[in-house]
Structure 1
Amino acid sequence: MSYLSELAALTDELIDAVAAVPKTQKRKLKSLRESTVQSLLNQNFLRTNQFEVQNQLTGLVERFRVVNREPLGDALEQRLEALKPHVNDFTPEVLQFLLELSDKPAQKSRLSDLERLKEPEKDAVPKLTWRQIAKEDGWAQERALWKILDHAPSSDEEDYYELEEAPSDVSVASPSTASSVPDDAPPTAQDLAIKLPGGEELLRRILDSQDWRNATHDLDSQGRQQKTPVTSLQILREVVFMLRGLPTSLFDPACKPVPGYILEGVSWQTYDALVNTFSECGRKLAPLRIYAGKKEKEEPLLQVFQDSLQKALQSFDHELTTIQGRFVATHKDVIVSLVAILTELGPSLAPLYVLSGIVQQVHRERNTKAFRYLELLYDAVGMAQMEGSLDAYKLLGTIFLDCFQVYLKPIRFWMEEGELLAGDRTFFIGKSSARPQLHQIWEQQFHQLVSPEGVLNAPRFLSPAVDRIVRAGKSIVVLKHLKRYSPVATRVKAEEPPMDFAAVCSDVTSFAPFSELFGNAFNKWIQSKYHSASITLLDILFDSYGLSRAFDALRCLYLMSDGATSDAFASTIFRQLDNFSTSWNDKFTLTEIAQEAFSQCVAGHRLSADIDQRYIADSPAASRASVRSTLPAIRLIYHLPWPIQMIISPAEVKGYQTMFVFLLQTRRAIYLLKHPLLGTTATPARHQSTYYLLRTKLLWFCNTIMSYLTTLVFAPNINKMDEALQHALDVDDVGEVHSRFLDRILSETCQGKRLRPIRDCILDVYDLAIKLEDSHQAEMARLEEEQQEISRLSTFSASQQKLQQQKRKTRAGRTASLYSKTGLGVGLDGEGDGDDDEEGENDAAARNNKWKRSIMEDARGRGNSTAAVMKEMHSDFERHLRFVASGLRGVARGSREDAAAKWDLLAEMLEGGIKEARHVF
C-alpha cells in the first residue's frame, strides 16, 4: 500500500472516530478529509510521543522476562534508570530512533555485546598477534623462508622448490602446531589428501560430465547457433534445482530456457516443448516462493498464511529431494523419463499453482483487506473439490482452516466478552465514538463496518452468520449494563467444536459440498457461544422487565383490545366534545381520564397523555365538526423501561399512535350514530325514513370497518406474533417479529402512503355521520321552534279577543298589559334568552342552543331544505362507498404485498352495501 493511500485510509478512520459525521453528508466528509490530509502533510517535523516511547520500553522489559531473558531485561531496566538524570528534550526522539532500528530484540540481542560499549583501560597492554610479528620482522620479504624442503630418500642433496608466489598476507600457524611437525619429514598437500583407488579417473569423469556447462555456442556454416547435447539425467537435475528456486544452467533467473542446448536423441521441437513445460512450472511457482520468502507481515492473518505457504513449499521440496535421491544412489537400472517426472509432480504442483494464483491476484488488486486471502482460499477449496482433485482439496482446505483459526480470535473475543480487540483492522464490527443513551445501546453503540460501496468488511462466506455474531456480542454488552453478566472464568463454558480440516471435512461427509460442510461446522461453533447469552438476555427481558406485559399494555391502549376500557375513555372525550366543553383540553386532565379508564390493564404511573396543539381547532364547534380535528391531537404516552425500548422503539410507538387515532375516529362515528336525538310526533314521516335509512347505512359501514379491524386484522396478527415470539432466539428476533406485526397491521388497515386516498375517503364517510346527526338535530330544533311559535300565536290571538271585550284603557297601559300577559318579548328570530326563567340554565345548555341556532341560520342562509341535504349526503355516501370498494379492489390486484388479500376481502365486504339503483327521495 502506498503512503498516500495508507494516509487516506487512516484519515478516514480518524474522521469517523472523532467527528462522527453521517455518511450521507458526503460534502462535509469530503471537506473534512481534505483539510485533515492537508494539515497532516504540512506537519513535516512532528514531535515524538514520549509516553508511547516509555510504554514501549516498559513493554520490552516485560517481554524479555516473559521469554526467559531476565538478565537482558534487568540490564535494560538498569540503563533506563541511569538515563533518567540525563533526560532532555531530545531523549524521546533518540529512544524512538533506537526502537525503530531494533529487529527482534528478544531473539537477536546478546548480553555479551554490552561489553563492547565499555571503554578500554588506559594502562592495559595491547595484545601481540602473530600477524603483527610477521609484519614487523618482514617475513613476506624473506622468500627463502617460504621454500619447502623435500627430504626424499633418493636424493643425496637438498632439493628445494619455491612456491609460485608468497602470500601477500601472512598467516602464521601457532607454535604448538608448528612444533608438532617433525623437522626431518614435513607433510605435503599430496600426502594429506585422501587417495582412493581410481580417484583420478573418477574426477576426470565428473569434470567431463559437467563440461557441457562451459561449452561455447558458436554459429555453424548456415548461421544458426550450435546446440550442446545434454542427457535426460542432466536435464532432470537442472529441473529439480529450478523448481526449488536455485540457479541453474539450463534456465535463467526468470525460469526461461537458455538457448543452445538440446536433449540427446530427440528433435528440437520435442525438447523445446518439454523444457518449456518445466519452465512454465517454475514461472508459476516463482511468485509463491518470493512471497513466502519475504519479511514476516505485521498482521497475524497474513503471518499464518505466509507460514502455511512455507510449509507447503517445504513439503514440495522434500518430494523433489526424494525424486532426486532415486537417481543419485541407484542400486539397479533406472529409466530416466522427464515426462514421467512431470506426471508424478502434477498432483503436488496443482495446489501450489492455485496458491500462486491467489498471491498474484491479491497483488494485482488495490487496497485489499487481509481477509481477501480467505475468500480466495475458500473459493479454491470448493473448486478443487468439484474437480475431484483430492490432494489439492486437502492441502488447500488445511491452509484455509489454519488461516481461519486466526480470524476466529476476534470473533471469539467479541462473542464471549462483548469487546473488540484493540488495533484489529480485519474485524467487521466497529464501535461508535459517541456515547448513546441506554435504550439506544443495541442499535447505535456498535455497527457493522461497510465500504463506501456498501460491501461488508468481512469475508463473503461469513455473510449468513454475521448477524448472529453481532447479536451475541451485543447481548453481552447489554447484560453488562444490566449487571447480569458472568465472566467466562466464572461460568460453565460450552465445549467449542473444532474447526480443523479433519473435523470439518471428515471422510463420512466427503461427498457433501465444502460450502455446506463449512457452514454446518461454523454454525455449530457459533451456536456454542451464541445461544447462552442471547437466551439469558431474553429471559431477563420477559421475566424481570415484563416484555409480555408491555406488549399487552400497548394492545390495550393503542389497539383498544379491551372494549370496555376503551369505551370508557372514548365516551368521556366524546361527551365533552358534544357539550362544547374545553375542560378536557389539558394534558393533566386528559392524563387523569386515561389513567382512570385504563387502570385495569396498565400501571397508572406509566401512563400519561398529551395534546398536540397543531390539531386543535379555533372553536369548540369546529372541534366536533370533523374527525380530522381534535381527535388526532390526543396522544397517549406509555413509559417503558429502557431495556424494553431496545425492542419497542419510539418510531414504532408512532405507528401505534396512528392506529389509536384511526380507531378513535371510527368509534367517534359509531358513538354519534348510536346516540341519535329522537324525533317528535310532529316530525314528517318522509324525513324520518330518509334519516333512518342513511343512518342505518352509515352505521353498517362503520361497524363493517370496525369488524374488519378487530376480527381480520388485529386478532390474527396478534396470534401470529405470539407464536413467533415463542421461537425468537435474541433481541433482534423479538424486535423483528414486533416490527413485522406493526407493519402488517398498518398496511392492512390502509394507513400506508399508497392507500392514503382510500383512508381519507373512509374519514369522509365518518364526517358524513357527524353531518347527518348535526342536520337531524338542527331539523328537530327547527320543528320545535315552529311548534312554540304556533302556540305563541294562538295565545296571542285569544288575548286580543279578550281585550276587545274589556274597557278601553289608555294605549300605553293596554300595550304594557298586553305584552306582560302574552310574552311578546320573544322575537321571531328565536333570541328570547333575556327572560327571568332562562337565567338558571347551565352553560352547557346555552352553548348547545347557540350551536343549534348557528346550524339553523346556516341552513336558512343556503336556502336548502332538509330533504335536499339528506339527498346530497346519501349521494356522497354512495360515491364514497364505491370509491373505497373499487380502490381496494384495484390496489389489491396490482400489489404483491401480503396485505393485498385483506384489502380484497374488505372490498368484498363493502360491495355488499352497494345497490344498483339509488334510493329516490
Structure 2
Amino acid sequence: MAQHARVAALTDELVHSILNFDPAANKRAYRHAKDIAKQGLRAHEYARTNPFDVRTTFAGLDEKFRVLNRDDLADALDGRLKELSARPGKWIPDCLSLLLQLSDRPTENSRIEALELLRPPTPLPELTWNEILQHDPYSDDEIWKDIDYGADSSEDDLLPAKRDVAKPPPPTAVDHDGTCHPQTCLVAVDATAVDRLEDAQFWKHEAEPDHGKIDITELQAIRETLFMLAGLPTSLFHADRRVGLEYELRHTLTRTTIHLLAELSDTGRAIHQLRHWLKRPSSLPLVQTFEAAVSKRLLEYHQALARLQQKYLVPENSTTVSLLELHNNVRALSRPMLRLAQIVAEIEPQLLINPFIHLEILFDQVSLAQMTLEHDIFRFLSHIFFECLQTYLKPMRKWMENGELGLNDETFFVFEDDSGSEASSLWHDRFVLRRGQEHKLRSPAFLEPAAQKIFNTGKSVVFLKELGLHTSRLPAIAEEPRLDHEAVCGSFVDLPLSPFSELFQAAFQTWIESKYSLASNVLREYIFNDCALIQTLDSFRFMYLSANGSVFQEFADAIFERMDVGQRTWNDRFLLTELARGIFSAELDSSQSERIIVRSLRKSSKSLSASVKVLSHVLLDYALPWPIMNIIQRSSIPIYQQIFTFLLQCYRTKYLLQRISPQSIRELKDSRLRQLSYKLRQRLIWLADVLRSYLTGTVIDPCFADMRAVMSKAEDIDEMSAIHMNYVARLQDQALLSEKLKPIHKAMLSLLDLAAPYSQQHASLGSIDPRSMRQRNTEKIKSRRKSILPIKLEEEDTDSSNACDDEVSAESDLPIASEQDVVLGGIDKEFGRLLPFVTAGLRSVGRVGAEPVWEMLADRLEWEGGCGQ
C-alpha cells in the first residue's frame, strides 16, 4: 500500500507539472489526464532492462580490453556499438544485455579475425562499356563495311554466280585517298596486365586457411609504409597509424616485422600530428610564421619520401628491397621532423597564452642540440628559429627606427601607457615595458638582456621627434647587419665551437647597436650641448648645496635680517625671488638666474621667527626645460630642498650666535652667567661649523664629483636619470635626511634650535648688580622658597621672633639661581642630553649601513664635544 500511495503522489506531481491549470476548475479533464498517466505507469510483472547499466558495462569492457592490450578487440566493439546507436530500436538494450550474459571470457576466447566471416560477400561489379568494348571492340573489320540489305533475298538464286575477287592489301594509316583507318591508332592490350594488377592488390586476397594471414611481399610493405608516412590511406596501416595484424611477410619472423612496422607507424603518427596541427591556422603573425616554417619542412619531408619511392618504383640500378634498410633511412630522415613534432606538441597548449613560446623552446632546443653534437637537429632547428625570429624583429625594428608601435600588438614587450603625458615626463611615463606574472618581462627569455636597450632606443627616437630633430640630425641608416643562421653560426658543416647562446647574443648586440648608437648619440649630444645638462647641475649645486659659501651666506643673511626685523612680510615670495635672483646672479648668468623662484608655504608669525625650524617654509625652485626634467625628475627636487633647508638652518644658528659678541658676554656682572654663556656660545658655534663642514666638504663635494664623472660617460637618458637619482639618494642618506635617520635629524635640529633661546636670553641680559638681584630674590623667598631653591638652615633658633632674620641671613650666604641662570642651565643641560644621543645613533647606523661618513661625523662630535666641556 505504501508503494501505491507513493506512485499516486508522484503521478499527481507529474500531472501538475504538465497541465498548467487548476484541477478544481476542470475536474473532468484533470481526472482524464490522471487516468492516462496511471495506465502508462501501471506496474509490470517483469522490469525492463536498464539501458544505462548496459552502456556502463560496455564502457567497462572497452577499458578492460585496452588495459589488457587488446586494442583491436576494443576498437571492433566500439565501432559496432556506434553503428547500433545510429539505428533506433526499442529492444536493442535487451539484446545487448542478453549478449553480455552469454559472454564467456571475451578477452581470451575472442578472435578479431572471426569477424571477417560475418562480412557480406562483395557484390559483382556492374557491367561497364569498357568491359563490353574489351570483348567486342570497335576495331572489327566488318563494322566499317556497308550492309548488304539483299543478302537474304530470294532473288539471289536467279543471279549468276560471281567470281572471286582478290582481297585488298591491309590498310595503312593513311590511304592514297587521304582517309585514316581507326584500327591503326589502337594499341594492343596486354591481357596479362590486368592479372598482374589484380595480383598486386593484396588487400583483396583471401587469408591463408592454415594461419588466417595474408601474405605480402617486402616491396608491398615498403610501398605501404611510404604511403603511410606521406599521410595517404593504406591497407597495411589503419587510420590511426596502427599496424594491421592480418598481414605478414612469409620470409621473416612475424614479431620482427611487427616491431619494425610499429616503429615506422610511430613515426607516421607523429608526422600526422604535425599535419593535423597545421589544419588549425592562427591569426597571430608570429604563430603564422612558425606554421609556414613547419609547412615548408613538411613539404621537404614529402619530397624526400618521394625520392625514396622513386628508388623502388623506377630504380636506376639494381636495388635490394629491404624493409630494415627503409627503417634505417626513414629514421635518419625523420629525426629532425620528430623533434619538431615534439616541440609542437609541447607548445600547442601555451601558444594562446604566450605567442612567442615557440621562439624560447626553439632557442633552448638549438642550444641543446649543439651540446649533444646533433648536427642535423642543430641546423634544422636553427634555420626554423631564425625564420620565426624575423617576424618578431619587424615591430622591434619599427620601434627602434621610427619610435612607432603596432596597433594593439600584444606580442611586443613595449606599449604606450599614457599618450597624453607631459613632455617633461615623456621618458618615464609615456611608454612602459609589458610585464606578466611575477613582474616578468613579456618577451622571449633570450632577449631580456637587451630589452632595456631596445626600449631606450625607441624612446630616444620619440624624444628626438618631440624636439623636432628626428629627420634633421639622424643620419641615413646604414645597411642592417644580418641575423640568420649563416651570420650567427657560420656556413661551416661542423658545429660552431662557441655556445649558440653566446654567438646569438653577440650578433644580436651588433644588430641593436646599429640602431641604438644613432639615436642615443644624437640625443646625448643635444642634452649635453644644447640643453647644458652639466651647467644645470652646477647651478643646482650653487643654489641648493652652497657650492659658493660666500654667495650662499649673503643670501642667507639677507633672509635672516628680514626675519629679525619682526615684520610679517619677511617671507613675501616676490621680494624673496628678487632677492635670490640678484644675489645668485653673481655666479649664474642672466638666463639661469631668471629661472629662480622662491616660495613660502605659509605666513610666518613673530613667535616662530627666531626658530630655525621656520626656515623649512622657504622653498627654492628652478624652472627647468622639459628635456632636462626627464633627467632631473620632480621627485628629486624635494631632496634638494631638504638639503637647502638644512644648510640654511646651520647658517641661521651661526648667524644668531655671531650677533653675540665675546665683548658683550665679558660685560656680564655675574661670573657664573658669564662662564655659562661663553660655554654655550662656543659649543653651539662649534656644532654649526661641524655640520656645515660635514655637509659641504664630506657629503656634497665628493658626491657631486663622482656624479659628474659618471654622468659624462652616460649613453642615454635612462642612464643619466639613474645616475642623478642615485646621486640625490646618496646626498639624502649621508645628509641625515632619509627616513631611517629621521630621529637623528630631529635631534640635530633640536641642537641647532638651542641657539634661538640662547640668543633671546642673552639679549635680555645686562649689567645687573648681583647684590640687588639677591635682595629682590630675598623679598620673595618665603613665597617661592620651595619652587625655586629648597633651603636647609644649619641652625634652628627657638626664638620665633628671630626666625625670619636667621633664615634670610642663611640664604644670603648661598648662591642665588636667577631666571637667566635657570634658562641657560636648561640649554646647557639639553645640549648635553642630545649630543650623546646623536653620536650614539650615528655610530649605530654607521655599523649597520657600513657608511664611513657617519662614523667620521660621530668622531668629530665626540672630540669637539669633549673639548667644549
- Scaled by the length of structure 1, what TM-score is found? 0.66
The residue aligned with 1:889 is: 843
| In the alignment, structure 1 residue 612 sits paired with structure 2 residue 606 | no
For residues 829-850 of structure 1, the C-alpha deviation after alignment (integer angstroms, 9 at most, x for no partner) is: xxxxxxxxxxxxxxxxxxxxxx
- 1:648 paired residue number: 632
CA distance in 2, matches of 1:455, 1:382: 23
Distance 2:365 2:437 in 1: 27
Q: Which residue matches 1:637?
A: 621
Task: Please say if residues 286 and 356 of structure 2, whose CA atoms lie closer than 8 Å, have aligned partners that are also in contact.
Answer: yes
Mapping of residues 547-586 of structure 1, within 5 Å: 547-586=533-572
Q: 1:908 to 1:215 in 2, by over 3 A?
A: farther
Q: State the partner residue of 1:879.
A: 833
1:253 and 1:214 map into 2 onto residues whose CA distance is 18
- When residues 318 and 585 of structure 1 are mapped into structure 2, their CA distance, relative to the original with a 3 A threshold, is same
After TM superposition, the structure 1 = structure 2 runs for residues 29-178 of structure 1, keeping only pairs within 5 Å, are 150-151=140-141
One-letter code aligned to 1:208: D
1:477-502 CA distance string (max 9 Å, x none): 222222222179x9432231111110
**Superposed CA offset, 1:538-595 (max 9, x none):** 2122222222221111111111111111000111122333343434221111112211
1:685 partner amino acid: S
User: Paired residue for 1:192?
Assistant: 186
Query: What displacement does 1:324 show?
Result: 3.0
Is 2:859 aligned against 1:905?
A: no
8 Å Cα contact 1:691/1:870 also seen in 2: yes
Within 5 Å, give how 1:662-681 maps onto structure 2. 662-677=646-661, 678-681=664-667
Letter in 1 for 2:489: C
The 10-residue stretch of structure 1 (315-324 or 548-557) with the greater mean CA deviation from structure 2: 315-324
Q: CA deviation at 1:202?
A: 6.3
| Residue 537 to residue 251, structure 1, CA distance change in 2 (3 Å) | same
Once the two structures are TM-superposed, the CA of residue 442 in structure 1 deviates from its matched residue by 2.4
* Counterpart position of 1:437: 422
Partner of 2:763: 777
> Is residue 2:399 matched to residue 1:414?
yes
Q: Which moved more, 1:459-468 or 1:549-558?
A: 459-468
- In the alignment, structure 1 segments of 5+ residues that lack a partner are 1-142, 159-176, 793-861
- Of 473, 479, 490, the match for 1:495: 479
* Equivalent position SS for 2:754: helix
Aligned-partner Cα distance in 1 for 2:865–2:550: 32
Q: Whole-Å Cα distance in 1 between the matches of residues 139 and 332 of structure 2?
A: 64
Q: Distance in 2 between matches of 1:697 and 1:918?
A: 6
1:426 aligned onto 2:411: yes
Higher radius of gyration, 1 or 2: 2
Q: How many residues align?
A: 663
CA distance in structure 1 between the aligned counterparts of 2:564 and 2:769, rounded to whole angstroms: 21
Give the direction of change, closer, same or farther, for the CA distance of 1:149–1:673 in structure 2 (3 Å limit): closer
Q: 1:710 offset after TM fit, Å?
A: 1.9
* Partner residue in 2 for 1:744: 730
For residues 539 and 786 of structure 1, the distance between their equivalents in structure 2, rounded to whole angstroms, comes to 74
Q: Distance in 2 between matches of 1:413 and 1:389?
A: 36
- TM-superposition CA deviations, 1:251-285 (whole Å, max 9, x none): 22222222223344444443333222212212222
* Residue in structure 2 matching 1:523, options 485, 509, 519: 509
Q: Which residue of 1 aligns with 2:580?
A: 594
CA distance in 2, matches of 1:552, 1:878: 39
Aligned-residue offset at 1:743: 1.0
Amino acid at match of 1:306: E
- Shift of the 243–567 alpha-carbon distance from structure 1 to 2, 3 Å rule, reads same
Of the three residues 283, 289, 303, the one matched with 2:269 is 283
**Distance (Å, rounded) in 2 between the aligned partners of 1:440 and 1:532:** 23
Taking the aligned partners of 1:373 and 1:639, their CA distance within structure 2 comes to 50
CA distance in 1, matches of 2:382, 2:234: 34
CA deviation vs aligned residue, 1:35-69 (integer Å, no higher than 9, x gap): xxxxxxxxxxxxxxxxxxxxxxxxxxxxxxxxxxx
Matched residue of 1:560: which SS? Answer: coil
* Structure 1 residues 911 and 393, CA gap change in structure 2 (3 angstroms): farther
SS in 1 for 2:739: coil
Aligned to 2:445: 460
Whole-Å Cα distance in 2 between the matches of residues 655 and 319 of structure 1?
A: 72
Q: Which of the numbers 373, 379, 385 marks the counterpart of 1:388?
A: 373
Match for residue 173 of structure 1?
Answer: none
1:470 lines up with 2:455 in the alignment: yes
| Number of the residue aligned with 1:307 | 292
Alpha-carbon separation, structure 2, partners of 1:420 and 1:208: 66
- Counterpart position of 1:399: 384
Q: Summarize the alignment of residues 316-327 of structure 1 with structure 2, pairs less than 5 Å apart.
A: 316-327=301-312
1:661 to partner: Cα distance: 1.0
Structure 1 CA distance for aligned equivalents of residues 247 and 298 of structure 2: 29
Measure, in 2, the Cα distance between the counterparts of 1:180 and 1:486: 86
Which residue in the other structure is 1:63 paired with? none
Structure 2 residues without counterparts, runs of 5 or longer: 1-132, 149-172, 777-815
The 5 A counterparts of 1:801-880 are: 865-880=819-834
Q: Which amino acid aligns with 1:666?
A: C
Identity among equivalent positions (%) equals 32
- Structure 1 residues 360 and 184: alpha-carbon distance in aligned structure 2, compared to 1, 3 A threshold: closer
| Aligned twin of 2:710 | 724
Pair 1:214-2:207 in alignment: no
Q: Which amino acid counterpart does residue 909 of structure 1 have in structure 2?
A: R
SS at match of 1:647: coil
Q: Is the 8 A contact 2:669 2:768 kept in 1?
A: no
Measure, in 1, the Cα distance between the counterparts of 2:188 and 2:229.
35
Q: Distance in 1 between matches of 2:283 and 2:667?
A: 100
Aligned-CA RMSD value: 3.7
* C-alpha contact (below 8 Å) 2:360/2:444 kept by paired residues: yes
User: In 2 relative to 1, CA 738–214 (structure 1 residues): closer, same or farther, beyond 3 Å?
Assistant: same
Shift of 1:522: 1.4
In structure 2, the residue matched to 1:622 is 608
- How far has the Cα of 1:906 moved from its partner? 2.9
Residue equivalent to 2:693 = 707
Match of 2:670 in 1: 684
From the superposition, tell whether residues 494 and 150 of structure 1 become closer, same or farther in structure 2 (CA, over 3 Å).
closer
One of 743, 752, 772 as aligned partner of 1:757: 743
Aligned AA for 1:493?
I
Alignment partner of 1:609: what SS? strand
Q: Distance in 1 between matches of 2:432 and 2:373?
A: 41
CA distance in 2, matches of 1:234, 1:649: 79
Return the offset for 1:438. Answer: 2.4
Contact 1:583 1:589 in 2 (8 A): no
Counterpart residue identity of residue 204, structure 2: N
Q: Distance in 2 between matches of 1:534 and 1:333?
A: 68
1:351-389: CA deviations, max 9, x gaps? 323322332233212633433322222222222222221
Q: Report the secondary structure of 2:740's partner residue.
A: coil
8 Å Cα contact 1:218/1:226 also seen in 2 = yes
Give, in whole Å, the separation in 2 of the partners of 1:307 and 1:264.
44
Tell me the secondary structure at the aligned position of residue 584 of structure 1.
Answer: helix
Mapped to 1, the partners of 2:418 and 2:334 lie a distance apart of 49
Q: 3-state SS of the aligned residue for 2:599?
A: strand
* Counterpart pick for 1:349 among 334, 354, 360: 334
Per-residue deviation, 1:218: 8.5
Deviations 1:689-723 (A, max 9, x none): 33323333333333222222222221121111111
Whether the 8 Å contact between 2:839 and 2:861 is mirrored in structure 1 is yes
Distance 1:390 1:903, change over 3 A: farther
